[in-house]
Amino acid sequence: MIRQIEPWIDETELKEVTEVIKSTWITEGKKTEEFEGMMRQLTGAKHVIAYANGTLALYASLIALGIKPGDEVLVPDLTFIASANSVIMAGAKPVFVDVDKKTFCIDADNAEEKITVRTRAIMPVHLYGQAADMDKIMPFAKKHGLKVIEDAAESIGAKFRGKHTGTFGDIGIISFYGNKIITTAEGAVVLAEDAALAEKIYRLKNHGRKEKGVFIHEQIGYNFSFTDVLAAIGVAQLKKFQKIAKRKNELRKLYEDQLKDVIEFTYVDERTSLVHWFVNVLADDAEKLADFLEAKDVQTRRFFYPLHMQPCYKDMKQGRDFENSEYAYKHGLSLPSSVLLKDDEVMQVCKAIREYCTKHKSKAKI
Ligand SMILES: Cc1ncc(COP(=O)(O)O)c(C=O)c1O
């Protein structure tokens, strides 16, 4: 089976992790600080705070920005469910917004239609490594006095007009879950410009304290800490980041060179420089193509199931105008996109896709 995604873990991670374990300091400490420093360098964010995972990082961001029960937060209809669930966790209501028909990221025009007196924030998601249109989103947020929480879980390395995703809004988060561009197994960082906000985010993960080892707590906080064992994996992964980014983008080019005459590839906005987390195509029928490829031992992944269609959100009235997210779900398919893929494996996948397209003689159009 050619796998859709797998992390690149080797001696580099083993060496870093071994050093941390030998040091016996395995909880959050110096290695986490080193990792945060490397993330500051990579993203250009002023403050970077390591977190247990991306879902909690989003939750803490919402809480730190004052989102509370009764508030509404605009979330794209096409995203991993954690974006919306973090809003529920904060006690607020996620309001689903259709996505742009080219980038599949939140559409500011549709967001305008979803504004109510209760709207307090917008959460653009930089989906599959593709940056959302921050030229539209930031003025839109300003016009309506909204906080901006960027869900950059999938977009490490992606820039919009030269600025790293996750650094436009009040807060951004990046996830390091096992299938992400780089991983720490579980884990995330919060990116912030404002020092007071960064301190709030830190306190929320550290039982309300500014420092560890102190037992007087000025505010209520929790334990969403990272660990130095995870940070060691992260440091090793960041050392390989340029190679990972290069190979990811090479994969997209390889697939595109082979298949662009038979299948549509997802759009790349010229204002962005991306790291293709997944190589995505738009098939006539994503389910059929996925089944065809599975029979040939090629693992793929359908696009996210639109939030308004999710069983767990069926009782939340959200309107019906989600043409583009439904289109994306029907047609979108993520091809094998692991940095470990060999060129001949890519060719094997391409051969199978060409066979499918020739049989079906149809090409999805955006
Ligand atoms: C868009 C998006 N948001 C949020 C998350 C949540 O991150 P985590 O799995 O680290 O909790 C993920 C990934 O898992 C994601 O893809």
Check whether residue 222 and residue 250 sit in a common domain.
no
CB atoms within 10 A of CB 18: 12
Check residue 366 and give its pLDDT.
40
Alpha-carbon span 324 to 127, nearest angstrom: 14
**Does residue 216 share a domain with residue 325?**
no
Distance 57 CA to ligand 1 centre (A): 9
Task: Provide the β-strand partners of residue 280.
Answer: 334
Q: Please report whether residue 190 resides in a domain.
A: yes
Query: What is the domain-level CATH number for residue 187?
Result: 3.40.640.10
Check whether residue 232 and residue 258 sit in a common domain: no
Within the chain, residue ranges assigned H as helices are: 11-23, 30-43, 54-64, 82-89, 108-113, 134-144, 195-205, 228-239, 241-259, 286-295, 323-331, 343-360
pLDDT for 303 equals: 98
Do residue 84 and residue 225 come from a single domain? yes
Full domain range(s) for residue 215? 11-97+104-239
Are 92 and 69 in contact by the 8 Å Cβ rule? The answer is: yes
**pLDDT, tens only, 238-277:** 999 999 999 999 999 999 999 999 999 999 999 999 999 9
Residues 195, 305, single domain; the answer is no
Residues 146, 87 share a domain = yes
Residue ID of nearest Cα to ligand 1 atom 12: 153
Residues 6 or more apart in contact with residue 11 via CB below 8 angstroms: none
Residues 221 and 265 in one domain: no
pLDDT reported for residue 97: 97
- Encode pLDDT of 31-90 as tens digits: 999 999 999 999 999 999 999 999 999 999 999 999 999 999 999 999 999 999 999 999
DSSP letter string over 115-157? --TTEEEE--B-GGGPPP-HHHHHHHHHHHT-EEEEE-TT-TT
Pair 333, 223 in one domain: no
Collect the ranges in the chain with pLDDT lower than 70. 361-366
Distance CA 187, CA 57 (A): 9
Q: What is the pLDDT of residue 122?
A: 98
**Of 189, 214, 239, at which residue does a domain stop?**
239
Bridge partner residues of 47 (DSSP)? 192
Residue 267 Cα to ligand 1 middle (Å):
22
202 inside domain: yes
Whether 67 and 90 have beta carbons less than 8 Å apart is answered as yes
Nearest alpha-carbon partner for 43 in 149, 133, 171, 141 = 171
Same domain, residue pair 167 and 311: no
pLDDT at 316: 85
Do 219 and 351 lie in one domain? The reply is: no
Q: How does strand 279-282 pair with strand 272-273?
A: unpaired
pLDDT of amino acid 365: 46
| Pocket lining for ligand 1, CB < 6 angstroms | 53-55, 79-80, 82-83, 125, 151, 153-154, 175, 177, 188
Is the residue at 253 inside a domain?
A: yes
148 within a domain of the structure (yes/no): yes
Among residues 239, 273, 292, which one ends one of the domains? 239
- The answer to whether position 192 is within a domain reads yes
Q: Which atom of ligand 1 is nearest to the CA of 53?
A: 10
- Together in a domain, 219 and 266: no
Q: How many angstroms separate the Cα of 89 from the Cα of each of 57, 317, 346?
A: 12, 18, 41
Render 62-100 in DSSP notation, one character per residue.
Answer: HHHTT--TT-EEEEESSS-THHHHHHHHTT-EEEEEPBP
Q: Do 322 and 289 fall within a single domain?
A: yes
Q: What is the CATH number of the domain that holds 354?
A: 3.90.1150.10
* Ligand 1 closest atom vs CA 57: 11
Does a structural domain hold residue 365? Answer: no
Question: Domain ends where: 219, 239, 259?
Answer: 239
Residue 146 alpha carbon to ligand 1 centre in Å: 22
Evaluate whether residue 6 is within a structural domain. Answer: no
- Residue 231 belongs to some domain of the structure: yes
> How many domains is the chain partitioned into structurally?
2
Alpha-carbon distance 158 to 260, whole Å? Answer: 23
